[in-house]
């Protein structure tokens, strides 16, 4: 159960709360809730409220905020690329948007501009070692397997 606090009076009416669009959806759409229509010229960055605050509460869960793929293909992405919502964060979900495209984009109140995916978090302990066991890959790094 994720606790949600509504911060914008336009939620949940006329704009619905985040939900899964299809039975197979991994993410729930987040809406931009600016006071008025915003125009983002190419290269512009803006922080827009989502109208919500959440409290996950369970340290084995985190929320990851991604751009929506359709808008991302037009250049609207998150300026931090992926947002991480920690289990103990209780503040507003603010969407840091960046127009990385070549055309001016309009963001209207209620537009679905991002999505949140809840994922399991593994919290490992460190095992300090002097060396690792040899693997077939070994220490090959960036591009070592070719293109």
Domain assignment present for 126: no
pLDDT tens per residue across span 64-75: 999 998 877 788
- What are the DSSP calls for 58-75, one per residue? -TTEEEEEEE-HHHHTTT
The CATH code of the domain that includes 79 is 2.70.40.10
CA distances from 108 to 9, 71, 103, 111 (A): 16, 13, 16, 6
**How many angstroms separate the CA atoms of 42 and 71, rounded?**
14
The total number of structural domains that make up the chain: 1
Supply the range of the domain harboring residue 104: 3-18+27-120
Q: Is position 146 within any domain? A: no
- Whether 138 is in a domain gets the answer no
Q: What are phi and psi of 72, to 5 degrees?
A: -60, -35
Alpha carbon distance 13, 10 (integer Å): 5
Global pTM value: 0.87
- Is 73 within a domain? yes
Q: What is the pLDDT of residue 71?
A: 79
Interval 3-37: pLDDT, tens: 999 999 999 999 999 999 999 999 999 999 999 99
Task: Tell me if 132 is assigned to some domain.
Answer: no
């Amino acid at each position: 159960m994720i606790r949600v606090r509504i911060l914008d009076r336009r939620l949940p009416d006329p704009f619905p709360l985040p939900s899964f669009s299809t039975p197979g959806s991994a993410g729930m759409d987040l809406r931009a809730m600016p006071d008025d229509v915003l125009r983002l010229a190419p290269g512009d960055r803006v922080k827009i409220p989502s109208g919500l605050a959440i409290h996950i509460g369970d340290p084995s869960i985190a929320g990851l905020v991604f751009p929506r793929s359709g808008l991302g293909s037009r250049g609207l992405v998150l300026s931090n690329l992926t947002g991480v919502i920690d289990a103990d964060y209780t503040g507003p979900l603010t969407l840091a948007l960046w127009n990385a495209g070549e055309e001016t984009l309009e963001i209207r109140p209620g537009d679905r501009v991002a999505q949140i995916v809840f994922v399991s978090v593994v919290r490992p302990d460190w095992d300090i070692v002097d060396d690792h066991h040899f693997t077939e890959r070994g220490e090959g790094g960036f591009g070592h397997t070719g293109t």
